[in-house]
Structure 1
Amino acid sequence: MVRPPNDKPVASSFSMTGVLALLCGSGVLFFYWKFARPSAEFSGSARWILPLTGMILLLWGGRQIFGDLIPGLRSRQVEPDPEVEPTLRISWMGIVLMFLGMLMFYLLAKTDSGTVRLFLTILGALLFFWGIREVGRLMMTTTQVQRVERRVALPPSGLAYLVIMIVLFVGSQLGQSNMLMLVFSLMAGPFVINGAVIVIMLQKLTVDRVVPETAMAGELIAVELKLRNGKTVFSSSLMAVTDTLANDRERLQTGVLIARVPPKDERSARYQLTLMQRGRYRLGPVYVGSRFPLGIVERGLVFDLPGEILVSPRLGRLTPRWQREHGLADELVHRPNTRAGIFEDEFHRIREYRPGDNPRLIHWRSSARQNELMVREFHQSRNQSLIVLLDLWLPETPHGEAEDRVELAISFAATICHNQMRQSRDANLYVVSAGDRLTEWSG
């Protein structure tokens, strides 16, 4: 089953890094407004370090999240070239995070409040090690190590659930209502538990793909996705596996649902699809996610699992008229270097009888005229060389009709070549195509 790009089997997912950055930034600003701002311990430039840190985290998290929705905001991804030696790249955001973490430790000397010191210690350690992780993650990408990215999504039910929680929290803070805070806490519990259960299920999951290397346009093919659970105790339930296929003209998404993967076991599922566009389809990445058990939070993993399917032009069927006209045209071509064949296809001449000739080929009228046995000699006409000239010209602004004509010409040329190779054994085939560049092929 193939879905268009906008009809995803899972909710629109966001970068887990972006979500954590937004939460940390909001927490820093809230703490500054609630505890640090009323205090007179911070003065001068130190007073702006906390709000500046919160704003940096908010902007970075927003760019990570909205970059998934708005392609123009997404950071440019450089695909590694296996033929080019990778070079070292630096994560500037990782360096900024480590610097902000050290600033938090600098602020420890400016305050004597136990609550503020505890918060600054936790925040400084978090930012410093987070920066180290960002630098290491980019280095893993540079060295072409398979990367696994964590994603988080909110289905419509989860989004409504979160909005209610935010309203209750804001109301409890503005109205100093313990009852609203109690209701908020009761709702936050299932929300956190749902996410924690999915995190456990996603641990030690690996995915693999079995895909045919070649296919024909319009042909039904099957792709197998294998999901392995490496955990010892916990199983993974209701795992949605989404695969992506793309070429220069279209982008497709397919999905399968695996009900349960027991510990130390593997489950597989297949999806079928029909690729109507010829060319090279790139597969990947693969998304594995789940909403189990409550369905208010979705978390997943994005596996960088590349693959490729080469789709050949669709083959047609040559009509008897084409076979007849092709044979008539071939008779008009003079071929001085003919040779005898094993098939009685084309009459060549009448010659004298030789031992071993088929008696049925004796031409009695000529034998009586020459007063010796004469036989009919046939030459093989099936091994005929073929030259195919293919013009792939398109206007500067191609329209649908022109593109359809080119695709029809390519399909027709492929059908002719396939028929030629199937019916001939020793014949030569030459193909010359003129498009963006001149391409020659012989075989």
Structure 2
Amino acid sequence: MPACPAPSNRRARCSTRWPSREGRQLSGPAAARRFATQRLRDRLAERGRRWALRRQGRDPARLRLSSSRIYILPTPAGMAFAVLLVTMLAGAMNYNNNLGFALGFVLAGLGIAGIYHAHGILDGLQLHCLGAEPVFAGELLRVRFLLRDEAGVDRRELFLDWPGTAPVAAGPAALASRCVELPLATQRRGWQALPALRLQTRAPLGLVRAWSWVHIDSRQLVYPRPAPAGSVQPPAAAAASSTGRRPQSRDGDSFAGLRPYRPGDTPRRIVWRRYLRGTGLVVGEDHDSETQAPPCFDWDAMAGHSDARAARLARLVIDAAAAGVHWRLRLPGSELGSAGGQRHLHHCLARLAVAGLPADEA
């Protein structure tokens, strides 16, 4: 926490600026108190999540919320309502006012009914984690959840969120099956575990907040962030394939290798210039584009640390897929054969996502 300089006089104020939850810069003692209060709330929430994890354990991808994992606390409006209710009943007792007693008991009944309904919105709700499509590091991972209601309960004002993110509404309460998409920030490549998911509601009166923590035992794959376009020089074979040109020999013939003539070879593939020089009949091995060897992108040929290598190789395979050529990928301990297309691209990106990472992260 930055220290406030000693004031030169009694009217001097601390000019330290504190970030607010909404991103605005606040200053003054009030901002410092608000920042300290927010830090205390975050610490208490973190302890609550850890306690719930120890109590409930990890959850499967498909589960049903039960009463034992639903927690309820009053909101600020609920605490003000309770203070008002106690004051009203105390006044009715002091003045022996039956109308005050009646109004106080009616309001107390409404508060108790609100607690019951808030609990019922979460109780029995079925949750199914559908996963997310892989994204590149630094992009938002959009995790999809399916909410099912087979009891016909009016589950209105239901929200889902990760810790420290804005809640996302679950949609209309009348739908028996709803799909909710939650964005999740990613920082690096590899398998990313899902944080604690919170389902909460303040319906129907807003006097209490009911919530439940779900710790889904699931991981989502994050591709390496590719290097900027044009920053990685492809191998010569890859450059020739992407431009549609074949490697040229010093004689001007289009081939990548020579072999002796065998019976059955077409005359079009014979290198006649070599024959006229007296070297015998030789055939261009890669005279046709179909027989040209695909480029090989090698992990060991890249410089830098593992993340930098993965970024460069990701750029190469993306460019090769865009050019419509086949390629091979050589990684430590494995090699992906020659292929092309989107399926091969995603297969290579998935292998690059975990290449070079420790065993517990791969």
CA contact (8 A) 2:58 2:215 kept: no
Q: 1:363 to 1:280 in 2, by over 3 A?
A: closer
Q: Verify the 8 A CA contact 1:243 1:255 in the aligned structure 2.
A: yes
C-alpha separation in 1, matches of 2:309 and 2:331: 17
The reply on whether 1:238 has 2:156 as its aligned counterpart is yes
Residue in structure 2 matching 1:206, options 121, 126, 130: 126
SS in 2 for 1:260: coil
Q: Aligned in 2, Cα 1:385/1:358: closer, same or farther, shift over 3 Å?
A: farther
Residue of structure 2 in register with 1:225 after alignment: 145
Give the equivalent residue in structure 2 for 1:259: 172
The answer to whether the aligner puts 1:382 opposite 2:294 as a matched pair is yes
SS in 1 for 2:203: coil
Q: Is the 8 A contact 1:229 1:261 kept in 2?
A: no
Q: Report deviation, 1:181.
A: 4.1
What is the CA-CA distance between 1:315 and the residue it aligns to? 2.8
Q: Which residue of structure 1 lines up, in the alignment, with residue 311 of structure 2?
A: 411
TM-superposed deviation, 1:238? 0.8
Shift of 1:188: 1.8
Cα distance in structure 1, aligned partners of 2:297 and 2:147:
50
**Are residue 149 (structure 1) and residue 52 (structure 2) matched?**
no
Provide the C-alpha distance between the structure 2 equivalents of 1:166 and 1:149, rounded to a whole number of angstroms.
30
Structure 1 residue runs without a partner (length 5+): 1-5, 8-65, 81-137, 246-250, 331-343, 393-405
Match of 1:368 in 2: 276
Q: How many pairs does the alignment contain?
A: 276
Determine the structure 1 residue equivalent to 2:236. 327
**8 Å Cα contact 1:217-1:274 kept in structure 2:** no
Q: CA deviation at 1:151?
A: 1.8
Give the counterpart of 2:183 among 256, 273, 280.
Answer: 273
Contact 1:208 1:227 in 2 (8 A): yes
Residue number in structure 2 paired with 1:354: 262
CA contact 1:352–1:374 (8 Å) conserved in 2 = yes
Letter paired with 1:70: L
1:309 aligns with 2:212: no
Residue 413 of structure 1, CA deviation: 4.5
Q: Check whether the contact 1:258–1:267 (CA below 8 A) recurs between aligned residues.
A: no
Query: Higher helix fraction: Structure 1 or Structure 2?
Result: 1
Q: 1:189: how far off?
A: 2.6
Scaled by the length of structure 2, the TM-score of the pair is 0.56
Distance 1:166 1:359, change over 3 A: farther
CA distance in 2, matches of 1:377, 1:143: 58
Residue type of the partner of 2:223?
S
Confirm or deny: 8 A CA contact 1:214 1:311 kept in the other structure.
Answer: yes
Scaled by the length of structure 1, the TM-score of the pair is: 0.48
**1:50-108 CA deviation, whole Å, 9 max, x = no partner?**
xxxxxxxxxxxxxxxx988636865964967xxxxxxxxxxxxxxxxxxxxxxxxxxxx
Residue aligned with 2:82, SS: helix
| Distance apart, 1:267 and its partner CA | 1.1
- 1:192 matched to 2:112? The reply is yes
Amino acid at match of 1:282: A
1:18 corresponds in structure 2 to none
Task: Describe the SS at the equivalent of 2:262.
Answer: coil
Q: Which runs of 5+ in 2 are unaligned?
A: 1-20, 23-39, 240-252, 335-351
Inter-CA distance 69–416: structure 2 relative to 1 (3 Å threshold): same
Amino acid at match of 1:237: R
Distance 1:149 1:374 in 2: 78
Q: Which residue of 1 aligns with 2:209?
A: 298
For residues 321 and 355 of structure 1, the distance between their equivalents in structure 2, rounded to whole angstroms, comes to 43
